Structure 1
Amino acid sequence: MNISKWYQLIKPNFRFYKDGFFEFPYLANTPELFIESTIKSPGSKHDTEEQVVYRNNPFIKGEMRYRKIDEGLWLTITNLDFKYDTVIKSNYAKEIPSDHYSITFTVFDSEVKLQNRFIDKVPFQNKFWGFKKPGTDVGACFYKGSKCQFYIYYLSPSWIEKNVPLDALDRKIPFKKFLDSDKGFITYSDIVPNAQGLSHEILHTLKTFNTDAFNKTILKAQTLSLISAFFKNVFADKRTDEYQEKSTVDYNAISKCELMVSTKLYKPFIGIDALAKIFNISSSKLKMDFKSVYGTSILQYHIDKKMELAMQLIVNTTMQIKHIAKEVGYESSSKFSATFKKKHGKLPSEVRPDNL
């Protein structure tokens, strides 16, 4: 399908090209409407029996699997390759109520540049969680060549009331403050241990759902386990936040800022003012928007990504730890080890003791 024909098919809800990105809306009132709109979108092929939608249009290629897990609980798992720089944004039909909460676990596959003369780039993953109240506008930017997985759990108010003890939370807990505020969303960076492994097990169950009589029970147990782990960890989170409305975020600037911060981790942090100047945004708005989207300050995000890359290099390569320290911008091995332990709870030498 060529792009001009695509424009005509989705023109009523499509904002075309803006600031370097194609804007791509989706209907978000209910999980059923989201699934239905995905099935009916151009370039989609629906397998009713397997409950999977294969997608191939000028902007994205991939598949979305979906399943009703329980009354008031739905799950969609989407794998996408992006063919163009694209903004995906929520869109709500005014005549249809929007009452579902959602929990999203997102995994981005990317590459990070190294200084190593033998290894120019290495694969790197970013993982994020988000919790959204009903009717909240959300959006995210994705660059050409990005490969992403989205695990979205849709929770009705009645399901939450029955299964999650929100009313029992201490009002001083940050997550409770968020719930009591008029803000619509909150984000976290990889807050659930082994979330990717657990999510892959859920995806496997979905892919084999019709081949095992126990898969319905298994899928429900797996889903409840992961949702419980999410709430347990966010209840324990000690963050402070102003809970900015996401509709005011400059997605373009924040996406470009994140890309710069996370793909050249051998370089030192250049500072908020320098980043703000590069992306033509005020320093205060850049700080507020970035924390709103990624749940932490830009500097802390930069440090966390350095330590996540260091862990991947320790586990997946034979590079000496002193060389890994330099790859993530640390001339001092002792300072690197201290920062690594603060992030991961272990020294680099304890992760790979044979490479001191």
Structure 2
Amino acid sequence: MITKQVNEWDKVIQKYLFFYRDDFFELPYLSNSPQRMVNSITKIPVVQHKAVEQAIYTNSPFCTGVMHYRKIEEGLWILATNIKIEQNIIAKALYDEAEVSDYYFLSFSVFEYGFPTGNALTDKVMLLSKCWTFYKPKTVVSTYFYKGTTGKFCNLVFNKKWAEKNLSSQILDKGEELQKFLNRETGFLTWLDVVPNLDKMSNEIWKVLENNNKESFDLMNLKNEVCKTIITFFKTTLETSRIQEYKSLSNIDYSNVAKAEKIILHHLTSPFVGVEKIALDVHMSPTKLKAIFKSVFGSSMLQYHKEKNIQLAMQLIQKSDLQIKSIAIATGYESASKFTAAFKKRFGILPSEVLRPN
């Protein structure tokens, strides 16, 4: 959705804020620029804006948390959020067609959620979900946040001028390929966990942002951490062909592929529901859905289901005292032997060889 006038935003908020549809409450915001995003979020009735701190707080039945924002230099911002999700929420990046949209958003998230174990003594084990996304101007993005999850996500936001000045010189051998990708009309790609040490990067950035003292705020350290993160991301992702071969899709396609991912995650602990079923649910042909899903996520829907599923199994082994056969059942495998074979194929070791909690 693209709004026609800036002054219509209040009407959009009134009409769509926390509109309930398909088990999710909608949270719209404007994404033309980081400043416009901040301004649109401050208009949401359930938030409190503390301009001196450059922070937006919320404590509502939908979510609780804080978003810190900083303009690091011309063309480069960071918006970092620490949040607890109280209800299922879909955050929608919208645009005002009366304003220029020339900012790219690179986001990474580390979320924690409780997985039910069925054990009376420990009814759930806390697991991590990591994800990277990159989207270009005028790409309408729908992001699903699930009730009961807590964590941090950062938006590293830069415009084309900043990218041309700072990125190509740092990625000399791939600079031309990156520029071709950035010049395409729209774009949205996601990776499960593409950059090592994401937890450490996230914590370092957050430490700097939590310092609200203007006199001692370490802007140079923040700039260094943000630039290092952006460059590391592109150096890593450009080693594959996903960015180089990417073709722009329509905003309807991006919306449908987000719905498809939601369906997969909803049935993660069951056998894969099938491409045809998912395509029917998102009102798209199986052939087209398969193509756009692989373009956005870098794998087929079946492969995506398998990877998320086996990563879930690995965390359950590392962080719970559940028996291997119970984990096999919990992650939707027909037998412990099939689970063990899939695990060995993915990680190169048997489930019994993974270091378990004391």
What is the CA distance between 1:99 and its match in structure 2?
1.3
CA distance in 2, matches of 1:254, 1:14: 28
Confirm or deny: 8 A CA contact 1:42 1:57 kept in the other structure: no
Per-residue Cα deviation, 1:102-145 (whole angstroms, up to 9, x for no partner): 10113343333446676554333322211122222212233444
Confirm or deny: 8 A CA contact 2:318 2:357 kept in the other structure: no
1:303 equivalent in structure 2: 306
SS at match of 1:236: coil
Q: Does 1:331 align with 2:336?
A: yes
SS at match of 2:238: helix
1:183 equivalent in structure 2: 186
Of the three residues 61, 86, 89, the one matched with 1:86 is 89
What is the CA distance between 1:10 and its match in structure 2?
4.2
Q: Which amino acid aligns with 1:261?
A: H
Q: Does 1:98 align with 2:101?
A: yes
Of the three residues 308, 331, 341, the one matched with 2:347 is 341
Per-residue Cα deviation, 1:176-223 (whole angstroms, up to 9, x for no partner): 664454332222111111212211221121112528837222222221
1:244 equivalent in structure 2: 249
What is the CA distance between 1:322 and its match in structure 2?
5.9
What is the CA distance between 1:151 and its match in structure 2?
0.4
Q: Does 1:232 align with 2:217?
A: no
Confirm or deny: 8 A CA contact 2:136 2:187 kept in the other structure: yes
Q: TM-score, normalised by structure 2?
A: 0.79
Q: Does 1:261 align with 2:267?
A: yes
CA distance in 1, matches of 2:168, 2:350: 37
What is the CA distance between 1:97 and its match in structure 2?
1.2
Confirm or deny: 8 A CA contact 2:321 2:357 kept in the other structure: no
Over 3 Å counting, the alpha-carbon distance change for 1:56 and 1:187 in structure 2 is same
Identity across aligned pairs (percent)? 36
Confirm or deny: 8 A CA contact 2:317 2:356 kept in the other structure: no
Structure 1, unpaired ranges of 5+: 1-8
Structure 2, unpaired ranges of 5+: 1-8
1:11 equivalent in structure 2: 11
Over 3 Å counting, the alpha-carbon distance change for 1:12 and 1:212 in structure 2 is closer
Over 3 Å counting, the alpha-carbon distance change for 1:116 and 1:303 in structure 2 is farther
2:28 equivalent in structure 1: 25
Q: Which amino acid aligns with 2:27?
A: F
CA distance in 2, matches of 1:350, 1:212: 51
Q: CA RMSD in A?
A: 3.5
Q: TM-score, normalised by structure 1?
A: 0.80
Over 3 Å counting, the alpha-carbon distance change for 1:309 and 1:255 in structure 2 is closer
- What is the number of residues matched between the two proteins? 341
Comparing 29-38 with 157-166, which one deviates more in the overlay?
157-166
Over 3 Å counting, the alpha-carbon distance change for 1:125 and 1:218 in structure 2 is same
Q: Does 1:67 align with 2:73?
A: no
Over 3 Å counting, the alpha-carbon distance change for 1:341 and 1:157 in structure 2 is same
CA distance in 2, matches of 1:171, 1:162: 11
Q: Does 1:125 align with 2:128?
A: yes
